[in-house]
Amino acid sequence: EAGVAQSPRYKIIEKRQSVAFWCNPISGHATLYWYQQILGQGPKLLIQFQNNGVVDDSQLPKDRFSAERLKGVDSTLKIQPAKLEDSAVYLCASSLVEDEQYFGPGTRLTVT
Amino acid sequence: AQKVTQAQTEISVVEKEDVTLDCVYETRDTTYYLFWYKQPPSGELVFLIRRNSFDEQNEISGRYSWNFQKSTSSFNFTITASQVVDSAVYFCALSEPTDSWGKLQFGAGTQVVVTP
């Protein structure tokens, strides 16, 4: 069974630029999550989707971050404009409803 | 407030030693889930275990074992006879229904370094 796919794996941008990350969850998983992991910390949930709908986006900085999940499968997370403090690893995870989450390899973002 | 506390930042052991990772959590819910994940240097979080709040039985899986004690709000993880491949950051996490099911609240992680 294929795991959670993410791209790109690495991205370097300058502050005020925009960037987008893509995630393809495990087939059949209704729930998809985006986490931000700053170096030395545990992951922090940014947004949770169930199928097409948003379940929780309380910790998403909506003035610069946006996310969508079209057709209840793939998802994109966008940052516009990026700030230095957005440097982190962005992890995508998926799960069956109320089940354990499986994580992708992450995208390491560096903002200079 | 931090809901999951992993007080040990880093633990260094020599191969074949046992290592215990502490996890203390805080919740007002009676139903909740606790998790452990492993994050090797490659960066991908690997699921190890999920335990619901009504199941306090200790669990053993190979060299891994978990001790869940509701009385002390702890969910500790022991690696027996550690190996170099166990070197990683280990995260404890909590999921509560009053927050949103599925949302994992992670501790800060414990770095385990196993030397030959």
List chain A residues with pLDDT less than 70: 1, 98
Stretch B41-68: mean pLDDT: 91
Q: Which residue out of A50, A59, A97, A103 would a mutagenesis test of the B interface target, given it has the greatest number of B Cβ atoms within 10 Å?
A: A103
pLDDT at B91 over 80: yes
Secondary structure (3-state) at B71: helix
Give the model's pLDDT for residue A67.
97
Q: Of A65, A27, A63, A28, give the one whose Cα is nearest residue A45.
A: A65
- Encoding tokens for residue B42? 């490659």
pLDDT above 80 for B99: no
Cα–Cα nearest to A46, from B40, B6, B106, B110: B106
Mean of the per-residue pLDDT values of chain B:
92
Nearest-by-Cβ selection for B43 from A56, A89, A93: A89
pLDDT of residue A1: 67
* Interfacial residues of B (vs A; Cβ cutoff 8 Å): 4, 35, 37, 42-47, 50, 91, 93, 99-109
Q: What is the pLDDT of residue B100?
A: 67
